[in-house]
Structure 1
Amino acid sequence: MRKIWLTGIAALAMASCTSKTSTPQPTASALAALPTTDWKSFRDTFIEDWFKVSPADAVYQGRHDFDGGLGDWSPAGLKRQGDFLRNAIAKAKTFDAAKLGKQDAFERDYLVTVAAGKLFWLEDADFPHRNPAWYVNAGLDPNVYIARKYADAPTRMRAMVSFLRKIPTAAAQIRANLKTPMPLSYVNFGVAAFNGFGDYYTGDAKKAFADVKSPALQEEFDKAAVAASKAMHDLGAWLEGQRGSATQDFALGADKFSRMIKETERVDVPLATLEAAGQADMKRNQLALVAACAQFAPGASVPACMAKMNANKPANNDPVAEARKQIPELRAFVLKSDVVTIPDQEQALVEESPPYNRQNSAYIDPPGPFEKGIPSVYYISPPDPSWSKVEQAGFIPGKSDLLFTSVHEVMPGHFLQFRHANASPSLFGRLFVGYAFAEGWAHYAEEMMWEAGLHAGDPETHIGQLSNALLRDCRYLSAIGLHAHGMTQEQSRKMFVEQCYQDEGNAKQQSARGTYDPAYLNYTMGKLMIRKLRTDWTATHGGRAGWKAFHDQFLSFGGPPIPLVRKAMLGGDGKAVF
């Protein structure tokens, strides 16, 4: 998955290689000038004003004139975000689609969905007051200044000093905003994340700039990092203190869950329809797994077959080194099978994920679309050292399981998708990439690669693909169950183990994630919409021979809600179809 879960946004103009030490907070009047007569002016003003409201988004996507910026999470700052988004939605809707060109009408609907999705998390779900994960996603991660060599080290170090100086105020705002009692899984997430940031600011972040030959700048960094680290550790300690009163009250409820998928992804179907689609996909994958296991481990139970697949570990239990070997193989297969265009020669790096961001087993951090010569980094998480030795060993994936994680994150998953997005003819396609589009494509790519002949029918490889498919099926059904049907976290954990054959460590992690990331059904939801769109589009475009043309056209949109892509490619009403 991409590091930012909710919606990533990217830069409007070429990234600058100089950093400002601060970014002034915009005034309310500065955000009230959205024009209503010219669509392109409206769109560009929306983007610039959003960057002012959320400068960390701008930095993450390559607008380094916003370096050091962090959002204003005070009550006034949160209200400014909500007012801006409501105003943008209302004004965008005044543009008559019938009077706009096809591309502009598409972008109008795209923009409205992006703004509505952000507004859902901000106010309807009320995540700034309920969910520590909102802040982790909203800008606390300083990795952009360290991992991306967009400027020389002193320039990036000065930018990070500016960022670190804002952390004590941000931590105070977070503590003031978060309501208690809080769900236990939220407490666990927040404690790990905030303490992880605290360790990182004075640990690995400091080491990253150790070669900067400026005693004065080093002194500035140390002073800012120590204060920021203390603020994060104090926040983590405060959250740890809430453990005794923690609840299990994490559910959005059925109505709000339905609004979530409608507002964020334009999927407006009854929950029963949604659930039935997920159950059917899980059953299909379970039957395929039984058939593959009959070849790979004749006579063995499915759990024993999965254990056999996962026992074939990377050499030295090092998934990072194994993934570095897998990526060239996958690239060569994509080229040979000719299933999708690889637009350039860019390569992804593979590293161990930093300690503050290990809530998921793997993710990719791509550069902003206007940053040049900066690699994407595919991060793989080690097991939690607090787990038992058995759980730690189980968490390290087998080679075939890891192969499809590499498909998902790199080739032809997220990495390739973002290379296409960066070349999208749509400005909005380059700037906003939705959760279901990105995760749906990456998950779809896993099954598509198997269908295209990766490892030529090898049952162990197929089991690796199905393990990943079932993981996402259980995410899909857990999201609905946890948030709409009263499922407990323990019931979710059991489903991951018993129905989707996941190891205990992963099952614990994934059942917890479902409580604070209710939209993680988007992996399977997106995949199902893409598969159905492929079936319907290729029916009149060459069948199996039309896959490459379908994939290239699909990816050319950048990252909009998939129902909008369906409407653009097939016509019709643009309703979600599974």
Structure 2
Amino acid sequence: MTTADLIALSDDIEEWARACAFRSSDDIPRLRRTPGWMPDITPESVEKRRADVAAFRARLDTVTGDLDAQDVASQVDARLLASVLNRAVWDLDVLRNWERDAVFLVGQILGPWFDLLLPLPPYSGEVERGLVAVASAIPARVGLARDNLSHAGVADLARVASIELQDIDARFAASVEGLDGVVSGETLAELRALAPAAGEALAGFGSWLASSAADFAPSVPVGRDRFVWFLRNVAFIADEPEDLVRAAQQDYRRAVLAELVTRNRFRDLPADEIAASIDAQVERQVAQEAEVRAFSDREGLLTQPDTLRRYHVAEMPPRIEPLRFLGVPDDLTDQDRLDVDGVSYMPRPRPDLPYFYAANARDPRLGIIHEGAHYKQLAMSWAHPDPVRRRYVDSVANEGIAFYNEELMLLAGLFDDAPHSQEVVHNFNRLRSLRVVVDINLATGAFTLEEAVDFFVSLVPMDVETAREECAMYLATPGLAMSYHVGKQALLRLVTDAIVAQGDAFSLRALHDRVWANGNVPFSLQRWEILGDRGDLDVIERSSAPLS
């Protein structure tokens, strides 16, 4: 049973994080923010964050010292809070993206605008006032970002950001115009008046980055020792980096062969047609989302609670489309909006759609089994009776569950009626296995950014735009790209060990229900709770060393 002191500390850390944590372009760790919130990127605010983290750690040490050593649930929760604090140290003092990464800083400037636009309208008056506050602050916040980068900017990331900011003045103005009919006439008039200054500041920032990049520092990898510290203290992973790469390479080879054999097997079948219109894609997705739910329940794979809402898609709206580079364009809701459907925004079908959009336009189930799995897992986790478990910790478990779910659904027969979608699932495996190689090689310095982009384009294959967006994020956030494959492998190991240990008493549905509900919890900790096996945790705690 989680103690009251742990819950109180978790409450305080969550409240602090909503105010002080940086904005993320990833959809999984999005935090609930007050409309009009903007991340503080000044050096002074970073010093204050460091002091806050130290104070929280002192409280956690006191609380942990009072825990019953046999109370596994509380011991797990204490380690979750330690992971949150370690993540903050990693972000502030190792990655230092707040002063090094122009891509990250563009997200801190424009991201709050983008995030406010993600939920489906209507928008409250508070959200409309938040949009005005964010737009009006853009010029000053560009100045803060320039100050930071002048001292510590990284050349590769500055160049990527300058590319992302091309025509940003017109694109921001287009986003504002996309709010016509969505916000009040008074708010729209205010935003139109603010757009020129905001667009000019952003465009000037892009030009400055392009001209200044040559004078910035080269990319410096975090290095193996610090990456291992991340594995042990943030992600709670016991494996060595080299072992993770070898496992991913083996899975990549298996995926390449499986894709080829599947393509050969169904070589005489015509390729799947792309949806005739966005309306047709939306309609098909609604039907197939219900089909996937019924399939999961019928096959005994995962319970579908009556309280669980739907995961649907909608046409990419003009308020979001010009700024798609700022993050995943979806709204997976949060723990205070469990009565709201999740939604992902899709562009209109066309022959040259980027990688993931093209797959979804041919068979929406290909998105349902991953992003839809995120929605289900997060919604189930947000309803967990233990408030500590409701809060995000690290992407390895979350992304691992969604990636595992792709192959689970393939093996269970969901795509028996869609041979070419079977090929795509194998190709997803190919991509996500290669992400481990890119992630770790970027972290250790074996790859430059351009080498990583070329690696994806040639081996997945993937379009250059998607590859550049992914690799820029991975260069700045080591450990994110590997999370899909590493998490999937850890879950596979947990499931197979549970099958062997529990024998005839084993229930795949029961195990999946428990894992999904605890989907924010690293698998080394779930092993301890589910199997009574703390072997991984012992390795982690024996080999954990101070961050140098």
Give the Cα separation in 1 of the matches to 2:93 and 2:57.
Answer: 15
State which of 282, 299, 302 in structure 2 corresponds to 1:340.
302
Give the Cα separation in 2 of the matches to 1:335 and 1:123.
Answer: 46
Give the Cα separation in 2 of the matches to 1:266 and 1:284.
Answer: 27
C-alpha change, 1:96 and 1:115, in structure 2 (3 Å) is: closer
C-alpha change, 1:54 and 1:118, in structure 2 (3 Å) is: closer
State which of 44, 51, 64 in structure 1 corresponds to 2:18.
51
Q: Is the 8 A contact 1:187 1:240 kept in 2?
A: yes
Partner of 1:368: 334
State which of 154, 160, 164 in structure 1 corresponds to 2:131.
160
Give the Cα separation in 2 of the matches to 1:349 and 1:459.
Answer: 24
Give the Cα separation in 2 of the matches to 1:320 and 1:479.
Answer: 33
Give the Cα separation in 1 of the matches to 2:5 and 2:292.
Answer: 45
Q: By how many angstroms is 1:289 displaced?
A: 2.5
Q: Is the 8 A contact 1:394 1:505 kept in 2?
A: no
Partner of 1:377: 343
Give the Cα separation in 2 of the matches to 1:196 and 1:543.
Answer: 62
- The letter for the 1-side match of 2:299 is S
C-alpha change, 1:243 and 1:75, in structure 2 (3 Å) is: closer
- Larger CA deviation: 158-167 vs 374-383: 374-383
Give the Cα separation in 2 of the matches to 1:507 and 1:237.
Answer: 23
Partner of 2:291: 329
For the pair 1:431 / 2:391, whether they are aligned, the reply is yes
Partner of 1:315: 275
Give the Cα separation in 2 of the matches to 1:558 and 1:391.
Answer: 31
Structure 2 unaligned spans of 5+: 540-548
Q: By how many angstroms is 1:567 displaced?
A: 1.7
For the pair 1:524 / 2:491, whether they are aligned, the reply is no
C-alpha change, 1:268 and 1:288, in structure 2 (3 Å) is: same
Structure 1 residues 169-184: aligned runs within 5 Å: 169-179=140-150
State which of 480, 495, 507 in structure 2 corresponds to 1:546.
507
TM-score by length of structure 1 reads 0.79
For the pair 1:573 / 2:539, whether they are aligned, the reply is no
Q: Match of 1:486, SS?
A: coil
Q: Is the 8 A contact 1:61 1:369 kept in 2?
A: no
Give the Cα separation in 2 of the matches to 1:167 and 1:314.
Answer: 39
- The letter for the 2-side match of 1:71 is P
- The letter for the 1-side match of 2:45 is G
Partner of 1:67: 35
Q: Match of 2:222, SS?
A: coil
Q: By how many angstroms is 1:327 displaced?
A: 2.9
Partner of 2:377: 417
Structure 1 residues 5-404: aligned runs within 5 Å: 38-54=5-21, 61-62=31-32, 66-96=34-64, 99-100=67-68, 101-135=71-105, 138=108, 140-148=111-119, 152-179=123-150, 185-194=156-165, 198-199=169-170, 201-208=172-179, 210=181, 212-213=183-184, 215=186, 217-245=187-215, 249=219, 251-297=221-267, 312-316=272-276, 321=282, 323=285, 326-343=288-305, 344-350=307-313, 351-352=315-316, 354-358=321-325, 364-371=330-337, 373-380=339-346, 396-397=358-359, 403-404=365-366
> Residue by residue, what CA displacement relative to the aligned partner does 1:221-250 show, whole Å, maximum 9, x if unpaired?
334444433332322222222355577625
- The letter for the 1-side match of 2:394 is G
Q: Percent identity?
A: 21
Q: By how many angstroms is 1:530 displaced?
A: 0.9
Q: By how many angstroms is 1:447 displaced?
A: 0.6
Q: Match of 1:208, SS?
A: coil
> Residue by residue, what CA displacement relative to the aligned partner does 1:78-122 show, whole Å, maximum 9, x if unpaired?
111222123322331232356245433322110110111122022
- The letter for the 1-side match of 2:534 is D
For the pair 1:456 / 2:424, whether they are aligned, the reply is no
Give the Cα separation in 1 of the matches to 2:92 and 2:337.
Answer: 29
- Larger CA deviation: 142-151 vs 274-283: 142-151
Give the Cα separation in 2 of the matches to 1:398 and 1:348.
Answer: 14
Q: Say how many residue pairs are matched.
A: 521
> Residue by residue, what CA displacement relative to the aligned partner does 1:190-215 show, whole Å, maximum 9, x if unpaired?
23555677555433244325465554
Q: Match of 1:71, SS?
A: coil
- The letter for the 2-side match of 1:42 is L
C-alpha change, 1:427 and 1:394, in structure 2 (3 Å) is: closer
TM-score by length of structure 2 reads 0.83
Q: Match of 2:63, SS?
A: coil
Q: Is the 8 A contact 1:400 1:463 kept in 2?
A: no
Structure 1 unaligned spans of 5+: 1-35, 299-307
Give the Cα separation in 2 of the matches to 1:161 and 1:493.
Answer: 37
- The letter for the 1-side match of 2:291 is E
